[in-house]
Amino acid sequence: MSVLDGIMVDLSIVLGSAEVPIRQILQMSRGAMIALDCGQDDPSLVYVNGELVATGRILVDGDQMSLEISDLVKKQRH
């Protein structure tokens, strides 16, 4: 067992984003759709602990989804 095995990180995969007025959100019901600022072929963004670390594409196989990493993002120096 590695000492790293017990370390938890917050991993987020972002497909796209949208700015939506709160009144529109309050009026939404089941089945409502929100248009995202991306296309079907645009890469998804991978964040670890809030920091962008990679881009990739979503793969769907039946009811299973996965992410294929395509590029690692170089850390910006301050």
31-75 per-position pLDDT tens digit:
999 999 998 889 999 999 999 999 999 999 999 999 999 999 998
pLDDT at 13: 96
pLDDT at 77: 72
DSSP line for 4-23: TTT----EEEE-------HH
pLDDT in tens, 10-22: 999 999 999 999 9
The pLDDT-based confidence of 78 (bands split at 50, 70, 90) is low
**Domains contained in the chain, CATH given:** 11-72 (2.30.330.10)
**Whether pTM exceeds 0.85:** no
Q: How far apart are CA 4 and CA 55, in angstroms?
A: 24
Within 8 A by CB and 6+ apart from 51, the residues are: 75
